[in-house]
Structure 1
Amino acid sequence: MNASISTITTSKSTVINELSQMSNLFKTECYTENIKELAFQFIHYSAIIEDMSPDTISTRVTRLRQFVGFCDRFHKTNITELSIRWLDFYFYEYRKNHAASTTNAAKRVLKAFFKWCRERMNLDCINPNLVKSRKNAKPRPRYIQHRIIQSVLQKTAESGYERQVNMLIDFAYDTGLRISELCRTSYNDIDGLNLYVKGKGSKERTVFLTERLKCKLEEFVTDYNRFYGPLFRLNDKTARVWMQRTFKEYANIHMTPHQLRHSFAVRLLISGCDLITIQKLLGHSDISTVQIYLQIKDELAESQFYKAMKNAQGY
């Protein structure tokens, strides 16, 4: 076998297609102890067998290329030659040029790689349980205030030529979809007030539309003839640019589409929605991922207290 990790692109848009075309190399997994060839097989397994997203595959390719390149510099070619002390040395050098979060991401990739080598290829290599990530404090989620989003929606609604970006922002804020999920959504994914979403790692979930959004969407679909294909017919990059440009023009703020996802979660939490429901709607597999929103709730505790007291009735 001549394929190695260096032959794979890191382009999110083409990496899956390229790996699919290489499938004839892997009717069965080929036994090898060569690090480059194992890395290639692991990427192929992640993309074709585990059906991971292009984003995840691109990240894994990048991290493994860095590791393989480092091994090459020190003439390490056989995976059974590597020890946990060697891996510690690698990350000692890696941290000099990379942030802690990036280092942790690289550790997760190599942990998965060594686990695959041991379990799938039956190789005596580094125990993946010895690869430990450094715990970092989870950052406070950045969200956009409801009044700002509503102001932008109102201003773009008044302009006919901005109707599509208005629908894009409204849909994102009311459903909490990731930008990639948003751009893939089609009218056929909607059944009544249910929207069926295929998210990260091909996980499927159901989110719900409000009556208001459904009525607005029906008008949009009819006027723009979007009954077939993606609703917005934009790629991730274009949708992101449109949103950022709109918020800069009408609210004078720099934002990312992911902040609308945070805003969706914060709005639900403040309105009394429980974390498990928010977790399911966002498509997270671990409840700890959404616990960062409790930071926001703590910050708003004072204003929520006075608002509740103002509306409270005697008993």
Structure 2
Amino acid sequence: MNNASPLQSAVEGFLRYLKVERQLSPLTQKSYAHQLTVLVALADEMKIADWAKLDAAHVRSLAARSRRAGLQPASLALRLSALRSFLDWLVSQGQLKANPAKGIATPRTPRHLPKNIDVDEVNQLLEIDLNDPLAVRDRAMLEIMYGAGLRLSELVGIDCRHLDLASGEVWVVGKGSKERRLPIGGTAVSWIEHWLALRELFAPDDDALFLSNQGKRISARNVQKRFAEWGVKQGVNSHIHPHKLRHSFATHMLESSGDLRAVQELLGHANLSTTQIYTHLDFQHLASVYDAAHPRAKRGKS
């Protein structure tokens, strides 16, 4: 970010607000910082010296410059969203009278449905050879990730004190530091118990449930790497990563129960609209089965 820019100090104030008051995740803070860095540079090029001088025509010009630089619709929508949120904050601080980005249309982006793996593939993935303590750890991580639909950050953040194995529950901290208790099921409990019996072999540094082979809390990158490796070893056709297991949990729960509100609570989604994407995924599956099986399904074909 250009330290000489007169636009800089307001952006830094907004980023402090996101960190201290909103308590957004470091990844989200980084995304806002990146988008606003680019926007400050573009605004400097346009000779805008004060956010109060920004109008709707300027916002359209910022969007047009971003498109010409090769920004795809989804990324442009993200940039405009960051700008809109920042300008809303300036309004709340009395630095702007109105948000000039409010009326600017966000480019339409194709809706990509989350990918999941079917139940048979999950079972194939989880049949791990357990000759190695790290394999037991990985099996326990896979079981709890799929068994509770955790986010990756929630998985690596679990401490031993967050477990209540007698009642089959785990306590996690999700987005926005929101806490929730989740059921984890008998199979996951069993494999966590197997791992706890071996955990002391790694001389733990702290109360982290899942450890690296150096005895420290396992990193998110390490989890991603191990899950991908197990997918290959187990002969699963699709690439395995933590978020795919979360998507699979949500899809399988919704297919079995049809209870969207319950799945929303389990996933820790703030808005039901976020969870509703799984209803589209479920319908897509039903439609493909229909097209393949029903004698009258050849719609649009002569």
Question: Which bracket does the TM-score occupy, shorter chain normalised?
Answer: 0.7 to 0.9
- After TM superposition, the structure 1 stretch with the greater mean CA deviation from structure 2, 211-220 or 241-250, is 211-220
Which of the residues 173, 178, 189 maps onto 1:214?
Answer: 189
User: For each residue in 1:182-239, what CA deviation from the matched residue of structure 2 results, as whole angstroms up to 9, or x when unmatched?
Assistant: 1111121123322222111212222211123223212312321379522112111111
| Paired residue type of 1:41 | G
SS at match of 1:251: coil
2:100 and 2:48 map into 1 onto residues whose CA distance is: 18
Q: Number of aligned pairs?
A: 276
Q: Quick one: structure 1 residues 276 and 6, their matched pair in 2 at CA, closer, same or farther if it must change by over 3 Å?
A: farther
Q: Quick one: structure 1 residues 304 and 194, their matched pair in 2 at CA, closer, same or farther if it must change by over 3 Å?
A: farther
Equivalent residue for 1:19? none
Q: Report % sequence identity.
A: 22
Equivalent residue for 1:278? 263
SS at match of 2:170: strand
Equivalent residue for 1:124? 97
Equivalent residue for 1:237? 221
Deviation at 1:73, TM superposition (A): 1.6
Determine whether 1:76 maps to 2:48: yes
Deviation at 1:161, TM superposition (A): 4.5
**TM-score, normalised relative to structure 1:** 0.80
Determine whether 1:45 maps to 2:20: no
Q: Check conservation: 2:14, 2:86, Cα contact below 8 A.
A: yes
Q: For the aligned residues, what is the CA RMSD?
A: 2.4
1:287-298 to structure 2, matched below 5 A, reads: 287-298=272-283
SS at match of 1:254: coil
Equivalent residue for 1:56? 28
Determine whether 1:187 maps to 2:163: no
Structure 1 unmatched ranges of 5 or more: 8-32, 306-315
Which of the residues 107, 118, 125 maps onto 1:145?
Answer: 118
Q: Check conservation: 1:221, 1:227, Cα contact below 8 A.
A: no
SS at match of 1:111: helix
Determine whether 1:66 maps to 2:28: no
Q: Quick one: structure 1 residues 161 and 129, their matched pair in 2 at CA, closer, same or farther if it must change by over 3 Å?
A: closer
Which of the residues 236, 261, 267 maps onto 2:252?
Answer: 267
Equivalent residue for 1:95? 67
SS at match of 2:116: coil
Structure 2 unmatched ranges of 5 or more: 211-216, 291-302
User: For each residue in 1:236-287, what CA deviation from the matched residue of structure 2 results, as whole angstroms up to 9, or x when unmatched?
Assistant: 1111111111112222532321100000001101112411111111111111
Which protein has the bigger helix share?
1
Equivalent residue for 1:168? 141
Deviation at 1:164, TM superposition (A): 1.7
Q: Check conservation: 1:115, 1:127, Cα contact below 8 A.
A: no
1:290 and 1:296 map into 2 onto residues whose CA distance is: 11
1:247 and 1:229 map into 2 onto residues whose CA distance is: 28
SS at match of 1:217: helix
Q: Quick one: structure 1 residues 194 and 187, their matched pair in 2 at CA, closer, same or farther if it must change by over 3 Å?
A: same
1:6 and 1:145 map into 2 onto residues whose CA distance is: 49
| Paired residue type of 2:23 | D
Equivalent residue for 2:171? 196
Q: Check conservation: 2:117, 2:248, Cα contact below 8 A.
A: yes
SS at match of 2:257: coil
Deviation at 1:146, TM superposition (A): 1.6
| Paired residue type of 1:278 | V
1:222 and 1:188 map into 2 onto residues whose CA distance is: 15
Q: Quick one: structure 1 residues 117 and 231, their matched pair in 2 at CA, closer, same or farther if it must change by over 3 Å?
A: same
